[in-house]
Structure 1
Amino acid sequence: MTEQMDQSAARTLAYRPVQVTGRLAVGGLLLAGLAWVVRGVWEIRLAVAGEPAAGPPDQGDGVHRQLTSLENSYQLVTSAGGVLVFLCAMLFLSWLLRLRDNARALSGDTPRYAGIWVLVGWIIPVVNLWFPRGIVADAFRSSAPGRRLPRSVDVWWGLWLVGMISGVGIVYRDSTDQIIERAYTEGWPLLLSDAAVVGAAVAGAFAVHAVTAAQVERLRGGGAEVPDPVG
């Protein structure tokens, strides 16, 4: 009996607090979404103002004209948004690492994805199309075996892919000057991509809440089955 109690205590100590990191990840996602809302507003302002007679900021052949006050403020908005996205990424990864560690302790099984993929799975081409979602799903199923994955996880990931593949969402290839030019000439694709990013941030917040709630309830129940989380 004493040995079983010692093993139970050791198992409990192996769990890492996940509620606070989950709340911080939710906050980071919502801040990143808000940053993209502001960015979209500025792109609408650029489209309404119209391209200056001097042409786009990037004149070609390495020549860049002086930015207007509106264009300069858009540069500031995108820079601030980049800072918030970086903060969101750090908070999300901190939550995901704890979630994965707890899921492993709960199930006693080796996770399907090696720990290195929690970090590099987001940046390696092709792999980044499904590994991050797979890590979240694997941690959820280990925490709440037999339960259905929250719908918000799939909504989050689908919208994230739209924003990423579009090339003008969270992960974009164009410089800020080139995006300003696109706001003048093809604003709708930019706004649709922004909407996907904002939607992904909101859905991601619901997903983090639902997955965290399932794991916390399992931990508090000492490994008992948990109901399907809302989301």
Structure 2
Amino acid sequence: MTVARRLLMREPRLRNVRGVGIAACWAICVTVVAELGLTVGAWQITLAGESVLTGTELSAGDVVLLAAVVMWALGSLAAAVLFIVWLLRARENSEFLCDGKHSYARAWGGVGWFVPVAALWVPGRFVQQVAAASDPRIGARDAWIQNVKDSTVSVWWGFWIISFVANFLSVRVSGGSGDVLGVGALLLLTISTVTGGLAGVFAVLVIRMINRRQSARNPVPWWHAPA
């Protein structure tokens, strides 16, 4: 038997989600702090009435804003990659621990965030079903997870949607007219930042909750669990 054949036939096992989950939590925290810095910098610049780097020297607001932009870009990229990697591993574990039927294939845990319109509900439902299938209170066999709702996941997803919509409207209101934003755009940006920060807090809680649930279950495949 070839090595490739043996690899294809290897026994399913639980994936380690703790390390990547912790890394995702830290990246989310960095992103939240950076978004706060972006908003504070935008308010300072707008109240001062001048754009970034229009003077001969950097102002305090310029420094805060530029540092926040770099932190946000790096933090957002890291948070997105780490969260998706964690989510796909957690989904694989949930299929190992519970035979509940998921509504979406594993690939939707990654691509679902980038599909227009579908991104408004697919990731939230995807995570809900991973959380349900990971819950030790739900049996390993003949489990029904389609309509199970977890309040922590629901609150996280609600804040995420509000933040996304507010940020989209902020960009539309500003019209891409420059660094100095109008009061309306800034208020929308502030709403996006606050709700995005809350979404970040609940995202960390969701990661910790699902990891804890999976650790609490009997670490055997569902097909070996007692009927």
TM bucket (normalised to shorter chain) is 0.7 to 0.9
Any idea what SS the aligned residue of 1:47 has? helix
Residues of 1 paired with 2:202 and 2:75: CA distance?
17
1:157 aligns with 2:144: no
Residues of 2 paired with 1:179 and 1:94: CA distance?
36
Instruction: State how 1:1-150 maps to structure 2 within 5 Å.
Output: 14-49=13-48, 51-52=49-50, 67-68=54-55, 69-70=58-59, 72-73=62-63, 74-144=65-135, 145=138, 149-150=149-150
Show structure 1 runs of 5+ residues with no match: 1-9, 58-65, 225-231
Show structure 2 runs of 5+ residues with no match: 1-9, 140-144
Q: Is 2:163–2:192's contact at 8 Å kept on the other side of the alignment?
A: yes
Residues of 1 paired with 2:41 and 2:208: CA distance?
30
Residues of 2 paired with 1:172 and 1:196: CA distance?
16
CA separation of 1:111 and 1:172: change in aligned 2, threshold 3 A = farther
Q: Is 1:43–1:183's contact at 8 Å kept on the other side of the alignment?
A: no
1:195 aligns with 2:194: yes
Deviation at 1:174, TM superposition (A): 8.5
Q: Is 1:143–1:214's contact at 8 Å kept on the other side of the alignment?
A: yes
Q: Is 2:46–2:180's contact at 8 Å kept on the other side of the alignment?
A: no
Q: State percent identity of aligned pairs.
A: 23
- The corresponding residue for 2:7 is none
- The corresponding residue for 1:7 is none
Residues of 1 paired with 2:81 and 2:102: CA distance?
21
Deviation at 1:159, TM superposition (A): 0.8
The one-character-per-residue Cα deviations of 1:196-221 (angstroms, maximum 9, x if unpaired) are 11111111111111121111111458
Any idea what SS the aligned residue of 1:115 has? coil
- The corresponding residue for 1:60 is none
TM-score (norm 2): 0.75
TM-score (norm 1): 0.74
Aligned-pair RMSD on alpha carbons? 3.1
